[in-house]
Amino acid sequence: MFPTINLGPLSLPAPELILLMGFWLGSTFSERNAKQFNVDPLILDKVLWITLLAGIIGARLSYIARSPFAFKGNLLAIISLNPDLLDPAGGMLISAVIGLFYLFKQHISVKSFLDSLSPFLGVMALALSLSNFASGSGFGTATVLPWGIELWGMIRHPVQIYYIIGGILTLFFLLRFFQSKNYQPGLIFTSFLSMTSGYRIFIGGFQDTKLVIFSGIRLSQVIAWAILAISLYILRNQIFPAGKEVIHAP
Amino acid sequence: MKSYRIHYQRIFYIFILLVGGSWIWISRVPSALTSSDRIAAPQESFSAPDFRLATLGGDEITLSDLLGYPVIINFWASWCPPCRAEMPAFQQVYEEYQDRGLIIAAVNATNQDSRSDAVDFAATNYLTFPILLDISGSASRSYNLHSLPTTVFVDREGVIQKIIIGGPIPVPLIRVEIEKLFQDNPNVPNN
C-alpha cells in the first residue's frame, strides 16, 4: 500500500497518478493498433480526449445536479479542482453518450472502434487494480493462505494482485488475437468483455465488500455475470452470423 | 457440421454461465465477513480507530465517547498551506450543522508543529470547534497519516464513511459528506 508518493515537499496521490499513467499508456497502445481495425489513430485519440473531457465536465455537472443544496452561497466551488466533487457514474454516462454521438457524426463503425478501444480498456482495468492496491481499497476477505497480505487488521486475499493477473492474461489474449487473420468486427471487444467479466466473477468471490444484494450475494459479481451472459450471446452471433462481414487483417 | 458446432457452443456457453452463477452462490459473503466495521482501521467502512487527546483548553476528548454523533476528524498543522486554507470552510459548516449534533475534531499534528502556533492559528481564525493536540503522534500513526491535511468522516455508529487526503476541501463537498453521515443509520438516536 502506497497512497502517496513523497517528492521532497510534494506529496502526490499515487492512486490518481497510476490512473493517469494508465490513460496515457492505454491510449498509446490503442492508437498503435488502431489501423488494424480500419480506425484512424488520430480519430481514436480525438475521441478519447473528447470523452475524457466530457466525462470530467459531466461528472461535475452530475454532482451539482445531485446536491444543489451544497453549492448554496459557494458557487465558485463549481470550478474547484477537487476531484472528490465528481459523480463517476454520471460522468461515465455522459462520456459514453458524447462518444457515441461523435462516432455517429463522423460515420465511424462503432464495432471497429470498440475493437480498437479494447487495449485501452484492458490497460485501464490493470491501472484500476494497481490504483486500488496503492490506496488499499478493493481489499480481499480473510485467508490463511501463505500469499495472504496483512491489510486492515487481518491477513487477506491480495485480490488487487489477482485482478492484475487477470488483466494481464486478458491483455495477452488480446495481443494474440490481433495476430489472427480473420475476425468479425466487434469480436475482439466482445471477447475482451467476456474474459474480463469472467475473471471478475471468479476473483470477486474473494473480495470483501458490503455491496451485497440478498443472502450475501455480491452486487459486483451479479453485474459481471449479466455482462458475461450478454457478451456470450453476442459472441455466439458473431461467430455464427446470419451474414458474413469478415475483416482481413493487413 | 456447422449446426453441431452451434449446438456444442451453445451448451458450452450455458455451462460457463451455470458455473459462474454457482460460484457467485458458493462465494457469497458470510455475515461474519461483512462486519468490517467491527475492526478498527483507517479505511472507509471500518470502525474509526479510537484516540484520547487533550484540547487546547486542557480537557481530554475520547473519540469513542462521541458515538451517536457524526464526527469529522481533520488532521492539520499550522505550517501546512492547504490546512490553513480549508479551516474557514470547516468553521462555516460547523456553524451550520452544530445544532444538529455535528462534532468537528481538528487534530493538530503537534508532533510536527508547535503548540503555540496552533493556538495562534485557532485564535486568529476564530475557530470554535475543539482543537486536539496530538503531541506524541499516536493518533496520526493509528490513522496512517501520509499527508496533511487528511479528513475523516465518521458516522454516528463510529464507522468511517469517507477519507479525503489533501485539500483544501470546498464547503459543498463537506456539506454533501455531512448529509450522508446524517442519512446513514437513521435509526440511531441522536444524543
Burial of residue A236, with CB atoms counted within 10 A of its CB: 0-12 exposed, 13-18 middle, 19 or more buried: middle
Could you say which DSSP state residue B40 is in?
B
Percent of chain B topping pLDDT 90: 68
- Please give the grid coordinates belonging to residue A112: 471497429
Phi-psi region of A38 (alpha: psi -120 to 50; beta: other; left: phi over 0): left
**DSSP 3-state of A40:** coil
* B165 → closest Cβ in A3, A73, A216: A3
Q: Which chain B residues contact residue A204 at CB under 8 A? A: 24, 27
* Residue B188 confidence (pLDDT) above 50: no
Spatial separation of the C-alpha atoms in residues B25 and A218, rounded to whole Å: 9
A218 to chain B: closest CA residue: B28
Q: Encode pLDDT of A22-70 as tens digits.
A: 999 999 989 988 888 888 899 999 999 999 999 999 999 999 999 999 9
Spatial separation of the C-alpha atoms in residues A79 and A62, rounded to whole Å: 13
Q: What is the DSSP string of A144-190?
A: -STT-EEETTEEE--HHHHHHHHHHHHHHHHHHHHT-SEE-TTHHHH
* B24 → closest Cβ in A82, A85, A222: A222
Q: Encode pLDDT of B154-186 as tens digits.
A: 999 999 999 998 878 999 999 999 999 998 655
* B169 → closest Cβ in A82, A137, A218: A82
Cα torsion angle, B49, B53, B56, B58, sign: positive
Q: In whole angstroms, how large is the CA radius of gyration of chain A?
A: 20
A211 to chain B: closest CA residue: B34
Q: Residues B121, B84: contact at Cβ < 8 Å? A: yes
pLDDT computed for residue B183 by the predictor? 84
* Residue A5 confidence (pLDDT) above 90: no
Spatial separation of the C-alpha atoms in residues B10 and A240, rounded to whole Å: 11
Phi first, then psi, for residue A4 (nearest 5°) are -130, 150
Q: Which chain A residues contact residue B2 at CB under 8 A? A: 240
Spatial separation of the C-alpha atoms in residues A223 and B20, rounded to whole Å: 12
To the nearest whole Å, the CA of B40 is away from the closest chain A CA by 7
Q: Which chain B residues contact residue A136 at CB under 8 A? A: 43
ipTM of the complex: 0.81
Q: Where are the beta strands (DSSP E) in chain A?
A: 4-7, 10-13, 149-151, 154-156, 182-183, 247-248
Q: Which positions ≥6 away from A179 have C-beta within 8 Å?
A: A249
Q: Residues B52, B139: contact at Cβ < 8 Å? A: no
* Residue B191 confidence (pLDDT) above 50: no
Q: Are strands B131-133 and B103-108 parallel, antiparallel or unpaired?
A: parallel
Q: Are strands B60-62 and B52-55 parallel, antiparallel or unpaired?
A: antiparallel
Spatial separation of the C-alpha atoms in residues B73 and A193, rounded to whole Å: 41
Q: Where are the beta strands (DSSP E) in B23-149?
A: 52-55, 60-62, 71-76, 103-108, 131-133
Q: In this complex, do B17 and A137 lie within 8 Å of one another by their Cβ atoms? A: no
* B20 → closest Cβ in A215, A225, A235: A225
pLDDT computed for residue B37 by the predictor? 52
* Residue A96 confidence (pLDDT) above 90: yes
Confidence of residue B36 (pLDDT cuts 50, 70, 90): low
Query: Distances from the Cα of A167 to the Cαs of A128, A135, A203, A207, in angstroms?
Result: 10, 18, 11, 16
Spatial separation of the C-alpha atoms in residues A106 and A120, rounded to whole Å: 21
- The candidate with the shortest Cα–Cα distance to A48, out of A126, A129, A110, A120, is A120
pLDDT computed for residue B107 by the predictor? 96
Could you say which DSSP state residue B106 is in?
E
Q: Residues B121, B109: contact at Cβ < 8 Å? A: no
Average pLDDT over chain B reads 88
* B164 sits in which H/E element: strand B160-165
Q: Which chain A residues contact residue B169 at CB under 8 A? A: 82, 84
Q: In this complex, do A232 and B2 lie within 8 Å of one another by their Cβ atoms? A: no
Q: The cell 456447422 sits on which residue?
A: B2
Q: In this complex, do A85 and B172 lie within 8 Å of one another by their Cβ atoms? A: yes
B89 to chain A: closest CA residue: A74
